[in-house]
């Protein structure tokens, strides 16, 4: 089974991903953090190269201001990732840990990320179980959704001579073949061995997210090609630049739109305001993309006819 998997990976795997073609631990670590909540293509084409151009080393990331880091992260969302990334950089820029237990002590690094760094960066014989790999293992061995059981099977299957390629292969298999819906079983190297192929839904790992509804009433004040923003104090966009919240007045409504963020389904209402009584930060409209602006705010500005 290990040989079948590596043969499939050699011919079908995603070998063009830049973080797979480097031994730089910082680059590998950064990619794992970015990929937690963002699609591979967006990370590869936009955010990963741009962030590394701005902060080419852990030391430069550690020495940057938080606003610079948030600005470079703008559009990726889940901004606590960026803050934890910088906190970790300040702690590790002289020597990045190569041990799972030590990695787990760092901000924003959990079990999966620590394992991924050790497997992909240091080529250690450890299992890596993300959502894709979990789905492959559950279907392959017809497993209950039990973390201990899944980890045990992952360890049994682990190719200790080629742990890096083995884990990457399982990941790609889940992303490209053993997909949540309509898996391509005829293309799977484990088609004959798979115990769950006749009842794939029973061994899927997707869970329905329960979203909370939230309404936001935001003021739009533009003068001399500058827009009024404020620094957010909420957990959602802490220290990011956002449109100020205002009292809704129906006659001033200029646009509304939907926005999803973590567990929230947000309806955003935009109101044109001449005066806003807040501690405002005026930003040139042409400079928005260079500032630490929340993705919701960028989306809102895009709805305006300016």
Cβ contacts of 211 within 8 Å, gap of 6 or more: 260, 263, 264, 265
Distance of alpha carbon 41 from the chain centroid? 12
Based on the residue annotation, tell me whether 32 is a catalytic residue of this protein.
yes
Are 228 and 221 in contact, with CB atoms under 8 Å apart?
A: yes
Q: Which helix (H) or strand (E) holds 284?
A: strand 281-284
Question: Comparing C-alpha atoms, which of 87, 79, 132, 128 is closest to residue 105?
Answer: 87
Render the burial of 27-46: b for 16+ CB within 10 Å, e for the rest.
bbbbbbbbbeebeeeebbee
Render the burial of 165-204: b for 16+ CB within 10 Å, e for the rest.
bbbbbbbbbbbbbbeeeebeeeebbbeeebebbeebeebb
Cβ contacts of 271 within 8 Å, gap of 6 or more: 217, 218, 219, 220, 246, 248, 249, 252, 253, 254
Catalytic residue among 32, 144, 245, 272: 32
DSSP type of residue 293: B
Distance of alpha carbon 70 from the chain centroid? 14
> What backbone phi and psi angles, to 5 degrees, belong to 89?
-60, -40
Q: Is 234 exposed, middle or buried (0-12, 13-18, 19+ CB in 10 A)?
A: exposed
Catalytic residues: 32
């Amino acid at each position: 089974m290990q040989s079948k998997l590596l043969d499939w990976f050699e011919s079908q795997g995603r070998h063009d991903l830049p973080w797979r073609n480097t031994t730089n631990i910082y680059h590998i670590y950064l990619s794992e953090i970015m990929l937690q909540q963002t699609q591979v293509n967006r990370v590869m084409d936009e955010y990963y190269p741009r962030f590394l151009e701005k902060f080419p080393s852990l030391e430069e990331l550690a020495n940057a201001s938080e606003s610079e880091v948030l600005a470079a992260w703008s559009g990726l969302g889940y901004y606590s990732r960026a803050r934890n990334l910088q906190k970790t950089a300040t702690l590790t820029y002289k020597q990045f840990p190569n041990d799972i237990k030590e990695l787990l002590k760092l901000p924003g690094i959990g079990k999966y990320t620590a394992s991924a760094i050790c497997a992909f960066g240091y080529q250690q014989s450890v299992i890596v179980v993300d959502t894709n790999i979990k789905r492959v293992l559950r279907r392959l061995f017809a497993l209950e959704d039990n973390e201990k059981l899944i980890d045990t099977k992952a360890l049994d299957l682990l190719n200790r001579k080629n742990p890096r390629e083995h884990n990457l292969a399982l990941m790609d298999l889940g992303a490209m073949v053993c997909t949540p819906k309509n898996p391509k079983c005829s293309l799977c190297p484990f088609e004959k061995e798979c115990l769950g192929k006749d009842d794939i839904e029973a061994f899927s790992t997707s869970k329905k997210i329960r979203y909370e509804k939230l309404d936001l009433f935001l003021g739009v004040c533009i003068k001399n090609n500058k827009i009024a923003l404020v620094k957010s104090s909420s957990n959602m966009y802490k220290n990011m630049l956002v449109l100020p919240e205002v009292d809704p007045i129906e006659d001033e409504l200029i646009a509304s739109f939907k926005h999803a963020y973590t567990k929230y389904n947000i309806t955003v209402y935009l109101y044109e305001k001449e005066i806003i009584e807040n501690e405002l930060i005026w930003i040139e409209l042409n400079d928005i993309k260079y500032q630490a602006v929340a993705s919701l705010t960028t989306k809102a500005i895009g709805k305006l006819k300016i």
